[in-house]
Structure 1
């Protein structure tokens, strides 16, 4: 056929097609618009989510840093300053602790000094308010209202003075201090900031792991595990030193890989949506394109015509999608978040992340998808002859011959639709299951990030009460603040389901060559930098074991089961409960479980050294919930509560752990706090509340969870709308077939039942793929991003609701499409119109 130069005609035909094929073009336009909108929202929401997660990390830590070094030498500081990958670094050092004030003898507050970089740059993002200035003189302090309250100094303000007794490396002192400033923000609750002048006279050194802290903020936002290990090796850490990366930074690479997998699935869903609509729309007009060849249009010109139509629709759809996406991201989402009453802090607004690459990526993805979607049908339209075009039917794939099968006729007809065009059915099931799988994965990840999941203390108790007087160095100041009367009143609170008492007694561990000598030698090597065990430590320990006292701690069977589950090798339960064995707190020493297990350790009562008892070591633990007052030089022994009662009739109630009948029960917590306040020892009892911690984490998260939920809801619509568009197009292309079945006796009710069965088969197939392949993919992605080690669990309620919604939509959409087809006229009119 001779080529005609009719470029102008092609352009006019492309424009005219928008009027003559309005319904088809609106479908394509909406498909591109909605897919562009989805990809834009996905990338914008994802970027916002990650930036907010970074903000959450800053708020939880109280400062912006990626790594935290315990102990700092001058050589290491120089190495960090010269390292081109380090953006900034700041010093934070423990200067001592508050012993008592005139209003509170157990304040439980620490003294901390930070350099200018740490305070002005790294801690600045964690501050929400400040007045005054950072301390400059040795008698100046900077405080929060919480730290004033813990010291019993409520009501003081900037410029006021107070007297406190404090402890440093040189001993205990009493002095008067002036409040140079006050601040509020995240992190560092019970901390009093002091000046550099105070730190220099405290006797502490930055090289000591008990004092020196070094915050490091890296330039690269991602660092592989290999590079992290190489950086640690470059510092040449001493035995006592340790460097920890923030969990977010340490696992950033694997989290990003998991996020890329999620984004890939989301993009696949959007691409399938565009592809299905494009393919159905273009292939449905194959006959029209074939007939154009009879008037002289070549195959190349037909491809240009199809390409011109699709490019105009793609441009309009992409522009509309970006506009709607921007409106939703920057206006609707913040409005919804605010209307939900989400805490954002003073003068804080919802910050939606936006980057130019999001626009470019969304447009590029839409363009590539439209191009890929139009290639195959355009080639088919150009290759078909006019004669073949007259007999073309888009849904004639499959076997021509049929055999009568088992089951009802309607079920057989419904199943044939899945096998007639396997590629199309596969795409529909794939797109729907991909959307459901993505929904499953995101809901699971969001559930693991929820404040209720993050806040989970040891044994998952709702409230832990602790005797603060046991931290007093002067033994005469230690008191039984939670006595029998107090415990009886606790048991009388109806909202409490479980109460666990942990008791402790001060002990000595006499010197012996088989165990204690080995323990103390390692302890000196690890922690006693200034002195040597060989030179003076061994002799002093033999002669004066009372200077190296420790604690024996008694726990019940439930607590032992929980502790035993954390051991490298579980201890023998019967031997422990019978008082034959004990668990040792490792206290950071380099002992392995095999080195000490089975050895005998003897302890003596501190007040009566002649009263002794010997236990066998059943295991080592790093869990610091049962360390008595604080880990001493000698080992802390954890034994059964029965063994402790046999060893010592009187023991301090060190800790009481409480579980409510209903988790996060505010009413029960209120009763508990009232009981503590009325006990007369409120200042000597610390209350660690899981409900309070959850509120802190929730406050730090801001609206992160709401943005994540918005992403989930948007992505859940992808697969459903893909199914809706595909199935509607499929039924429209089968109008002749359905009309023929009606003409030979199939009733409308039977047609509706058949179409519902088809929809349920599609839904069943997608659910099967989701709960097999999708669940496996979800588990893989979840574990790649699960740096918090939260156990994998499928949120039952959201997935049950999503599955029910899919079944309902898949059953309802075919009925709606058939009802639309019925409005075109009678069976005869539809058959006549088809030809």
Structure 2
């Protein structure tokens, strides 16, 4: 009305936005760093991650925070700029929010996004399942492993002695043991000691194309020896243990028939892929392989025919499965027929108790391993894993509560901001309704209902998306255990209760704020 141009109005608004942004972002950077400096060590000191935390003053953190905040301010202010520059003075004086439905939709979407983030963080961290994690790594109560079979060692190879196996079997609390064999050559490793366990086979016509595929894949699934033979992992295991492998591999062709496998006429072929879902190699179930396998103790090649029982691939990224590590898997009887020195090729001993072992019983097994004076052996168990995972769960819960609280505060601020701005833009409307008889109680009830409706719709919309993201992230991010329906339901209840409480509290405060001045005085604001 006094001649200010659209460009001048934009300049005025820009100056106001810049002042508010500078104050808000500056305070956020300082307070955020100080709070992080105080809160992060306090939280992480009680977790397993305290040794990995170090506070940093990296300027990139501050620059990225400023950039992100400034970008959101710029995007959110563009509509206000356009509206302020094109609206006439008369319209401005009479302006009322005309697109309430659209605004409510965007508010609900905003609430929903905050709710999804809260539910995902809450569920995946507080829903950490100790037993699921123990099952990921162990199919038996105890596993003793010859580590020199897995990678090159600086020392000469020290086999697991049969006497140690017998000593374990004599323990009164051990119900059963299972011995797994792995082929190895008598070659010096790159570290000067022994090399990892590999079988050496002649490159027959059946294996040439498969070897070429593995080389093209670049996975190192098969390698070539100096004389042109191929090197691969070849294992032997008891047929009655085959069922334990089914959860860790995907059968692409054939079947894991334990009865057929026990006959010694079959072999399982692992094509070296991971979750491809298809048979990609040149070896197929039902095919008879003519193998020529070097027995390093005699120096002779053992000729053997074996039908491919199944073509498999790995699906479990953890160390639970054993067949998933082997290119060729024979039953233990067939392995012993191929390798005359099989007694020195024990790679893993698995043992189960009549019930799950206690810490004291596990200690006896540890002592047997120590007394063998074989420093190439390692031992692990469900009881030890459970203790470690309980500590991990405590860490997850603490971090989860901290992060869920942070995202919860962000969501609450979002709710409060939307409700307050929506009500304040309708001050004249509420004043007019009060002038025709609306009471404070009715006003509070009206504002509260609007908040509860938005909160309820947002939470209901967040639930299916929250379930989806929890399931996807629970599988994709390996340090999460799984999706917990009970914890997710608890998170939904907390989210709904907090949003409802915030909506009702804001309704009470806004009603008190709006009714402080007389109705006539508020109606004159439009004049």
Select the residue among 304, 323, 328 that pairs with 2:35.
Answer: 328
- Residues in 1 aligned to 2:422 and 2:14: alpha-carbon distance in whole angstroms: 23
Select the residue among 310, 315, 319 that pairs with 2:17.
Answer: 310
The answer for the alignment partner of 2:188 in structure 1 is: none
- Residues in 1 aligned to 2:9 and 2:160: alpha-carbon distance in whole angstroms: 95
1:331, CA displacement in angstroms?
Answer: 3.3
- Residues in 2 aligned to 1:432 and 1:803: alpha-carbon distance in whole angstroms: 13
**In the TM superposition, what are the counterparts of 1:142-291 in structure 2 within 5 Å?**
none
The answer for the alignment partner of 2:215 in structure 1 is: none
1:464, CA displacement in angstroms?
Answer: 1.0
Asked if the contact 2:114/2:407 (under 8 Å) is kept, the reply is: yes
1:301, CA displacement in angstroms?
Answer: 4.5
The answer for the alignment partner of 1:687 in structure 2 is: 379
When structure 1 is superposed on structure 2, of 565-574 and 823-832 the one drifting more is 823-832
Select the residue among 815, 825, 831 that pairs with 2:504.
Answer: 815
Report SS of the residue matched to 1:489: coil
1:714, CA displacement in angstroms?
Answer: 2.8
Q: What are the superposed Cα offsets for residues 2-38 of structure 1, whole Å, 9 maximum, x if unpaired?
A: 74xxxxxxxxxxxxxxxxxxxxxxxxxxxxxxxxxxx
Report SS of the residue matched to 1:823: helix
- Residues in 2 aligned to 1:477 and 1:382: alpha-carbon distance in whole angstroms: 83
- Residues in 2 aligned to 1:798 and 1:804: alpha-carbon distance in whole angstroms: 10
Q: Which structure has the bigger radius of gyration?
A: 1
The answer for the alignment partner of 2:358 in structure 1 is: 668
Give TM-score, length-normalised by structure 1: 0.43
1:778, CA displacement in angstroms?
Answer: 7.2
Asked if the contact 2:292/2:304 (under 8 Å) is kept, the reply is: yes
Structure 1: stretches of 5+ with no match in the other structure: 4-296, 399-420, 493-498, 507-514, 538-549, 607-611, 646-650
- Relative to 1, partners in 2 of residues 1:450 and 1:459: Cα closer, same or farther, differing over 3 Å? closer
Select the residue among 238, 243, 264 that pairs with 1:554.
Answer: 238
1:833 aligned onto 2:522: yes
The answer for the alignment partner of 1:114 in structure 2 is: none
Asked if the contact 2:133/2:481 (under 8 Å) is kept, the reply is: no
The answer for the alignment partner of 2:173 in structure 1 is: 490
Q: What are the superposed Cα offsets for residues 752-780 of structure 1, whole Å, 9 maximum, x if unpaired?
A: 55544433322233234434556667777
- Residues in 2 aligned to 1:551 and 1:383: alpha-carbon distance in whole angstroms: 78
Question: C-alpha root-mean-square deviation of aligned residues, in Å?
Answer: 5.9
- Relative to 1, partners in 2 of residues 1:334 and 1:385: Cα closer, same or farther, differing over 3 Å? same
- Residues in 1 aligned to 2:407 and 2:482: alpha-carbon distance in whole angstroms: 21
- Relative to 1, partners in 2 of residues 1:790 and 1:438: Cα closer, same or farther, differing over 3 Å? same
Give TM-score, length-normalised by structure 2: 0.64
- Relative to 1, partners in 2 of residues 1:598 and 1:697: Cα closer, same or farther, differing over 3 Å? same
Asked if the contact 1:524/1:531 (under 8 Å) is kept, the reply is: no
Report SS of the residue matched to 2:308: strand
1:454, CA displacement in angstroms?
Answer: 8.1
**In the TM superposition, what are the counterparts of 1:399-478 in structure 2 within 5 Å?**
421-440=100-119, 460-461=139-140, 463-466=142-145, 478=161
1:484, CA displacement in angstroms?
Answer: 8.5
- Residues in 2 aligned to 1:692 and 1:501: alpha-carbon distance in whole angstroms: 20
1:351, CA displacement in angstroms?
Answer: 1.4
Q: Which has the higher contact order (CA 8 A, sep 6+)?
A: 2
- Relative to 1, partners in 2 of residues 1:752 and 1:693: Cα closer, same or farther, differing over 3 Å? same
1:823, CA displacement in angstroms?
Answer: 3.1
- Residues in 2 aligned to 1:354 and 1:661: alpha-carbon distance in whole angstroms: 55
- Residues in 1 aligned to 2:353 and 2:112: alpha-carbon distance in whole angstroms: 40
When structure 1 is superposed on structure 2, of 716-725 and 652-661 the one drifting more is 652-661
1:732 aligned onto 2:416: no
Q: How many residues align?
A: 464
Select the residue among 62, 65, 73 that pairs with 1:359.
Answer: 62
1:582 aligned onto 2:266: yes
- Relative to 1, partners in 2 of residues 1:660 and 1:373: Cα closer, same or farther, differing over 3 Å? farther
1:327, CA displacement in angstroms?
Answer: 0.9
Structure 2: stretches of 5+ with no match in the other structure: 184-200, 213-221, 273-279, 298-302, 337-341
Asked if the contact 1:430/1:766 (under 8 Å) is kept, the reply is: yes
The answer for the alignment partner of 1:770 in structure 2 is: 462
Q: What are the superposed Cα offsets for residues 674-717 of structure 1, whole Å, 9 maximum, x if unpaired?
A: 255269965567412467679999999xx999778755543443
Asked if the contact 1:429/1:762 (under 8 Å) is kept, the reply is: yes
1:727, CA displacement in angstroms?
Answer: 0.8
1:597 aligned onto 2:313: no
Q: What are the superposed Cα offsets for residues 565-621 of structure 1, whole Å, 9 maximum, x if unpaired?
A: 344424252653663753346698x98432873458899xx9xxxxx9986331356
Asked if the contact 2:148/2:157 (under 8 Å) is kept, the reply is: no
Report SS of the residue matched to 2:350: strand
- Residues in 2 aligned to 1:476 and 1:353: alpha-carbon distance in whole angstroms: 48
- Residues in 2 aligned to 1:474 and 1:363: alpha-carbon distance in whole angstroms: 58
